[in-house]
Amino acid sequence: MPFKFDANRCFWILSALATFLVITNLIVIFSPSFTGKYLANKLFNLDLEQNIPTFFSALNLLISSLLLFIIAVQRRADQKRDFYYWIGLSLIFIFLSVDEFSSIHEILINKVRDTLNTTGYLYFAWVIPYAIAVVTIGLIYLKFVISLPPGIRLQFILAGSIYIGGALGMEMVGSNQYAQGGADTSIYKLITTVEETLEILGIILFIRALLAYMELNWQGLHLRFGPSE
């Protein structure tokens, strides 16, 4: 039985799951105001690690890496020189997936903070090396992004802007709030919710863009279950 990964269908399915996780997170983080205790805090809090939202985000990043690899293989088969860019992106997203689930970036916080004596918006100091990496990769991939079909290019830029806006931009806003009042304030909880929501939305949009690219070039991604005819 053939199955087609439709870009819009996948987008809405993933968006529905993301909406459930965001709403559940809001219920969890504000449950003490109504019940006096946290409800399933470790399982559904977007700001905690190695739980259901983290697994969902890491899985989406891994799916992105797989789609990028599939595109790279096809571009190589078509003898297109840009397949190196696709492979590079696939490797980057593998790293992001591992980082999302194991929080590699948090290892850098104290080391960079102590070295540069950062505070305020840079209290979570891992954003500094990661921002440098984003700018460097952006410059390397500028020509590649420009070469994409206009509609796909716009989707790539939109998805990347939303993801980076959450991962770095809102992280810096949350960093400043955390430095002033800690992690228990309602404002900080809302900031982290917005941050994680933007990251999730950015990756979902990127998956949609990748599937749309595959539809544009090769009639999409198809899987067949069961014996071949």
7-37 pLDDT, tens digit each: 889 999 999 999 999 999 999 988 876 666 6
Beta bridge partners, 222, equal 4
Question: CA dihedral in degrees (45, 50, 52, 57; nearest 10)?
Answer: 100
Residue 183: burial class (beta carbons within 10 Å; 0-12, 13-18, 19+)? exposed
Query: What pLDDT, on the 0 to 100 scale, is given for residue 225?
Result: 43
Query: What pLDDT, on the 0 to 100 scale, is given for residue 197?
Result: 97
221-224 and 2-5: which strand pairing? antiparallel
42-63 pLDDT, tens digit each: 899 998 888 999 999 999 999 9
Residue with tokens 């989406």: 60
What are the residue ranges of helices labelled H in 166-185? Answer: 171-181
Query: What pLDDT, on the 0 to 100 scale, is given for residue 32?
Result: 77
CA distance 224 to 157: 32
Task: Give me the percent of the chain exceeding a pLDDT of 70.
Answer: 90
Q: How confident is the model at residue 228 (pLDDT cuts 50, 70, 90)?
A: very low
- The more confident residue out of 104 and 161 is 161
113-124 pLDDT, tens digit each: 999 999 999 999
pLDDT at 191 over 90: yes
pLDDT at 128 over 60: yes
DSSP secondary structure string for all residues of 132-197:
HHHHHHHHHTHHHHHHS-HHHHHHHHHHHHHHHIIIIIIHHHHHHHHHHH-S-SHHHHHHHHHHHH
CA distance 8 to 12: 6
Rg of the chain in Å (alpha carbons): 19
Average pLDDT of the residues of the chain: 90
| pTM for this entry | 0.91
